[in-house]
Amino acid sequence: MTGNHLTFYDDACRALAAAVLLTDVMDIRDLAEMRAAAARIAGNRQLEMQAVELRMRGTRRLGQILDQQKATIGFNRGTRGQIKGKDSTGAAQIAVPEDPLPRLADVGITHKLSSQAQRLAALPEDEFNELINTWSAESQALNGRLTTDLLQVGASERQRTARRDLAQALSTTSVNLTGSRQYPCI
Query: Residues 47, 121: one domain?
Result: yes
Q: Where are the beta strands (DSSP E) in 74-166?
A: 83-86, 92-94
User: Confidence class of residue 122 from pLDDT cuts 50, 70 and 90?
Assistant: very high
Domain membership of residue 90 (yes or no) is no
Domain membership of residue 149 (yes or no) is no
Q: How many residues does the chain have?
A: 186
Task: Report the number of distinct structural domains present in the chain.
Answer: 2
User: How far, CA to CA in Å, does 31 sit from each of 19, 39, 109, 142?
Assistant: 14, 12, 15, 24
Domain membership of residue 87 (yes or no) is no
Q: How far apart are CA 70 and CA 84, in angstroms?
A: 27
User: Confidence class of residue 76 from pLDDT cuts 50, 70 and 90?
Assistant: low
Domain membership of residue 44 (yes or no) is yes
pLDDT at position 100 is 67
Number of other residues whose CB lies within 10 A of the CB of residue 85:
8
Rg of the Cα atoms in the chain: 24
H helix or E strand, kind and range, residue 177: helix 155-178
90-94, 96-100, 155-159: which has the minimum mean pLDDT?
Answer: 96-100
Whether 127 shows a pLDDT value over 60: the answer reads: yes
- Domain that includes residue 159, residue range: 154-186
- pTM for the full model? 0.69
Q: Tens of pLDDT along 54-65?
A: 999 999 999 998
What's the whole-number mean pLDDT along residues 128-142? 84
Query: Residues 64, 14: one domain?
Result: yes
What's the whole-number mean pLDDT along residues 2-30? 80
Residue scoring higher pLDDT (82 or 33): 33
Query: Residues 31, 121: one domain?
Result: yes
User: Do 151 and 117 form a contact (C-beta atoms < 8 A)?
Assistant: no
User: Confidence class of residue 87 from pLDDT cuts 50, 70 and 90?
Assistant: confident
Query: Residues 167, 126: one domain?
Result: no
User: Confidence class of residue 104 from pLDDT cuts 50, 70 and 90?
Assistant: confident
Query: Residues 116, 68: one domain?
Result: yes
